[in-house]
Structure 1
Amino acid sequence: MNTEIILELKKKIAESNIIMSFIGPFSQGIIEEIGKALREYMKKDKNLNAPENNIFSVFIEQSQNIKNYEKILTEDEKKHFFSESILLIGKSEQKYFICSGNIIKKEDVENLKDYINNINSLSKDEIKLLYKRKLKENIKSDNNGAGLGFLEIAKRTSDKIKYDFIKLDEKYYYFILIIKI
């Protein structure tokens, strides 16, 4: 690697107000370590305008979404795409932002887009009611919390959920999620 690239990357990261980043396969250990670093950073933040719990919860949900999606990829897909996941945490204009990106299969794009758009169309009160209803349904059906993560994020974000899908090839897209708190 060219050594000048390191300084250029450092400069771009600082200009983008990113305070933490990770690229690669997500494991529970990685998530825990980033979580510890995030908690330490927030303890030192004298201008913390959002509840610490909201920031941490969104970080956990986004990280778990990536980790859980990585689990459903085949071994061949993992070899080709595994290091493609990214998580960026930053602070700009007194708001924290958490951005994530990961590979998803083409067949999952439309359902995910519809689900997020539906959540974005709801008020905060409607989101809370839907969250409670889904939580009860999941308890009864032992559904492992399917669909609760985006509702948890929506409850805690200060804006709507921002997302994008970038086509990589005929079978895969890159799913980008941007949350401000």
Structure 2
Amino acid sequence: MKYVYELHKTMIANNLILVYEGEFTQDITKSILAMAERNMDAIGELGGVKRKVFSVMVECLQNIVKHSEELNEKDEDGLKNNAIFMLGKQINEYIVTSGNPIRNAAIPSVQAKIERVNSLDKDGLKDLYKEIIKNTEISDKGGAGLGFVDMARKSGEKLGYSFEPINDEYSFFALKIIVPRSE
């Protein structure tokens, strides 16, 4: 039972106010958003900040629901097809973090989209957003990179990311977005 206390201390040390690990569905996404809303309402968060955080959260959660790969067998650490979502609150910012398995073959495309987004300033992001909307046929799964552009525009910050190998076929994609607490 000591792990419960250790987890609690880790959450406090990292200022985590919401953590969910497991299967992600549209219903679970709605529940996560409702919990975050109650938490932000309880501390009296400003409306504009709350809208930006929600927008980023929705994009992260949709990425997990639409793009997370299901692993058929557990890896050496016992991970299966689970993803994770975390919301942290610092004095001056919220930190939205997500992680999910993706195919190794998808890494170059995902990395290129994020690097392109991170290379642009505010006006460049606005132009890229318009370009994607105008020139790209977006499938039900998305995939055009619009979510990354939208998260960068809402947060005003660069997107943090990493890929941790799971096995020869999959890696764990982690995404971190910082949303300033000032409007």
Query: 1:48 Cα shift?
Result: 4.5
**1:113 aligned to 111, 114, 125, which one?**
111
1:78 is displaced (CA, Å) by: 4.7
Question: Is 1:12 matched up with 2:4?
Answer: no
Higher percent of residues as helix: 1
Displacement of 1:158: 3.4
Contact 1:48-1:94 at 8 Å conserved across structures: no
**Which digits, 9 at most, give the CA deviation of each residue in 1:115-165, with x for residues without a partner?**
101110001111011112212234xx4544432111110101132000011
Q: Which residue of 1 aligns with 2:123?
A: 125
Tell me how far apart the structure 1 counterparts of residues 148 and 169 of structure 2 sit (CA, whole Å).
24
Name the TM-score, length of structure 2 as normaliser. 0.87
Quote the residue 1:95 is aligned against.
93
Unaligned runs of 5+ in 1: none
How far apart, CA to CA, are the structure 2 residues paired with 1:50 and 1:178? 20
Percent identical: 30
Q: Structure 2 vs 1, CA of residues 49 and 94 (structure 1 numbering), >3 Å: closer, same or farther?
A: farther
Three-state SS of the structure 2 residue aligned to 1:82 is coil
Q: Tell me the residue number matched to 2:152.
A: 154
Q: Alpha-carbon deviation of 1:10?
A: 0.6
Count of aligned pairs between the two proteins: 172
Pairwise CA distance, 1:4: 1.4
Could you state the TM-score of these two structures normalised by the residue count of structure 1? 0.87
Cα contact 2:122–2:156 (8 A) shared by 1: no
Find 1:163's aligned residue among 140, 151, 161: 161
Query: 1:1-181 maps to which residues of 2 (within 5 A)?
Result: 3-46=1-44, 48=46, 51-70=49-68, 73=69, 77-78=71-72, 80=74, 81-83=80-82, 85-138=83-136, 141=137, 143-144=139-140, 145=142, 146-181=144-179
User: What runs of 5+ residues in structure 2 fail to find an aligned partner?
Assistant: 75-79
